[in-house]
């Protein structure tokens, strides 16, 4: 079976509130409760110019260059994704630490590799995330790659030039190893 896409259902008021709860935890200094798997993006609205906050899941970490990769389940339609496209220099919070980073946008093909790796690491979580973004599939690696190319968008957050880097960003991982959540 090939992948079938339904338009992702817009979240109702309760789901929107539920998605916002982690933002309040971070702003209260409780971001450490997410163990580095969820991070807070502080970005600027492309139209309003106001500071905006979005929590996203980290789908990959690279200790070689202190970079994190995140995914937009709503593709290019997510407001935070569109804001990062307009202004890629942002701050992120991981745990209780704030870091200036620059967003680098992966090609759909690069994102397909990240999604395939994620599906191998999280075989129970990945199918549920695919349903959330409107994809119905068998769960093969080819299916995950197809969804990544056609629906998802991946962003790599790299430390900005001159920013402090190191094991603190990656929760103590050092020695050049790659660690994924």
For each of the domains in the chain, give its residue range(s) and CATH number, in order of start: 10-156 (2.30.110.10)
The pLDDT tens digits for 21-50 are: 999 999 999 999 999 999 999 999 999 999
Q: Is the dihedral of CA 95, 181, 155, 132 positive or negative?
A: negative
Half-sphere exposure at residue 165, Cβ-oriented, CA atoms within 13 angstroms: 18
Please compute the mean of the pLDDT values over residues 135-143 and round it to a whole number.
90
Q: Spell out the long-range contacts of 52-59 with Cβ–Cβ below 8 A and sequence spacing 24 or more.
A: 52/79, 52/80, 52/83, 53/23, 53/26, 53/27, 54/23, 54/79, 54/80, 55/19, 55/22, 55/23, 55/26, 56/80, 57/181, 58/181, 59/114, 59/115, 59/118, 59/154, 59/180, 59/181
Which pLDDT band, with edges at 50, 70 and 90, does 165 fall under?
low
Closest CA to 54 of 131, 126, 157: 157
- The angle at the Cα of 47, spanning 46 to 48, to the nearest 5 degrees, equals 105
Percent with pLDDT over 90 in the chain: 66
pTM above 0.75, yes or no: yes
Q: Please check whether residue 163 is in contact with residue 100, taking contact to mean a CB–CB distance below 8 angstroms.
A: yes
């Amino acid at each position: 079976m090939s992948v079938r896409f339904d338009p992702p259902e817009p979240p109702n008021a309760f789901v929107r509130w539920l998605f916002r709860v982690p933002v309040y935890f971070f702003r209260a200094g409780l971001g450490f409760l997410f163990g580095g798997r969820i991070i807070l993006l502080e970005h600027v609205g492309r139209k309003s110019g106001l500071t905006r906050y979005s929590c996203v899941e980290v789908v990959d970490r690279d200790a070689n260059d202190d970079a994190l990769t995140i995914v937009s389940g709503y593709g290019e339609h997510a407001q935070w994704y569109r804001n990062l496209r307009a202004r890629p220099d942002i701050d992120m919070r991981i745990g209780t630490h704030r870091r200036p980073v620059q967003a680098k946008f992966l090609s759909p093909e690069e994102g397909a590799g990240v999604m395939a790796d994620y599906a191998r690491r999280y075989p129970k979580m990945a199918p549920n995330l695919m349903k959330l973004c409107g994809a119905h599939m068998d769960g093969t690696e080819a299916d995950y790659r197809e969804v990544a190319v056609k629906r998802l968008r991946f962003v790599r957050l790299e430390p900005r030039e001159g920013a402090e880097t190191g094991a603190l960003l990656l929760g103590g991982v050092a020695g050049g190893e790659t660690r994924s959540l």
